[in-house]
Amino acid sequence: MRSRQRMFAAVMRLLLKCLRLGRRRRFKLVRQVEQLWHYGHLCLRSLLYNSFTNGDVVLDSLFEPVYWLVDHVTRWFGVVFVALVIGLTSSIVAIVYICLLPLILQTYTPGWICWHLAYGHWNLIMIVFHYYMAITTSPGHPPQAKNDLTGVSICRKCIAPKPARTHHCSICNRCVLKMDHHCPWLNNCVGHYNHRYFFSFCLFMTMGCIYCSISGWEMFRDAYAAIEKMKLLEKERLQVAANQTYYQTPPPTFSFRQRAFHKSVVYLWVLCSSVALALGALTLWHAALITRGETSIERHINRKERQRLQKKGKVFRNPYSYGSWDNWKVFLGVDMPRHWLTRVLLPSPHLPHGTGLSWDLPPCVMEQSTPLLAI
């Protein structure tokens, strides 16, 4: 009996030792796995560590393929957008000359005929001139050498001098002087040397679309009513053709020329009204920016700077703003009163003030007594 108890006790001790040994091995394996995990994590962090890394940097890195795709698609589709602008504008001009101008010459008084001919052709010349200049004029790029540039930073993307108000365009892959934005409808950046051409094109295109919409309102109503009548007559003609007898004749239909005329008038009015609303809003936005003496990019920069200084109890002043009226004079290049006619109301290829590398006080602006706080 005692021998059996001793054997049972020995077996139990052996089992307990095996269990303890298995637990120790299992715990040891778990510890080794944890150590390898922490070591690998530490190695990865040491290789990828950056003190400037935050959530925004990680988000930008994740969206970098999307940015690359958008930049390249915009660059290639810029040619398509330019062709679209030229095609739509040419179609409107063709409709005016073919359909509306003969009607104006037959029905309007000599005074109104002279007004329409003078204003319409002046507006068309201004649109064509400024659009051509906005496309073909380079916005301006800083020089690669830093010999003659003082107080500039270095662009982190193209590793080149970056003067004040200069920003890097990811689509053009170059720094642009006084960059406002990259316009796909121009297939070009809007910068220091073509900003005036871009705004003038938007302004005169909006004025032309408003002129066509107002002048063609009555024609649009008549053409729309005629198209509805054509649809009704076409429906009646099909019904008569389905139940036609020997004594029945289908109602008269409009000719192809009449159909084309009415549809062209409707197309003209709808397109001009839509462009006037969309482009008019863009023109007002840029007019407000010009009044404040800032670009689209600087508006966001100045807003953040204004909020930062406001928390400190300070007031932010834009160093590139000379007052509302003087901002417009500097932007349009008006140095004397006659320039409002020769440089604003007539096509003018004059250059803007300055080189875009430094921003001294223009000669047309009076000295300012209020100290300016630089960005």
- CB-based contact 235:251 (threshold 8 Å): no
User: Which member of 169, 183, 202, 209 is catalytic?
Assistant: 183
Give the tokens for residue 61.
Answer: 């890195």
**Based on the number of CB atoms within 10 Å of its own CB, is 200 exposed (0-12), middle (13-18) or buried (19 or more)?**
buried
Task: Please work out, in degrees rounded to the nearest 5, the angle formed at the alpha carbon of residue 111 by the alpha carbons of 108 and 117.
Answer: 80
Angstrom distance (rounded) from CA 294 to CA 184: 21
- CB-based contact 312:232 (threshold 8 Å): no
For 175, phi and psi rounded to 5 degrees? Answer: -80, 140
Amino acid identity, position 352: P
For 314, phi and psi rounded to 5 degrees? Answer: -110, 165
- CB-based contact 286:205 (threshold 8 Å): no
Task: Please work out, in degrees rounded to the nearest 5, the angle formed at the alpha carbon of residue 342 by the alpha carbons of 354 and 130.
Answer: 70
Q: Within 10 A of 247 (CB to CB), how many other CB atoms are there?
A: 5
For 303, phi and psi rounded to 5 degrees? Answer: -65, -45
Q: Mark whether 172 is an active-site residue.
A: no
Give the tokens for residue 108.
Answer: 């309007």
Angstrom distance (rounded) from CA 271 to CA 53: 48
The helix (H) or strand (E) run that includes residue 27 is helix 2-48
Angstrom distance (rounded) from CA 176 to CA 65: 23
Residues labelled as active-site residues:
183
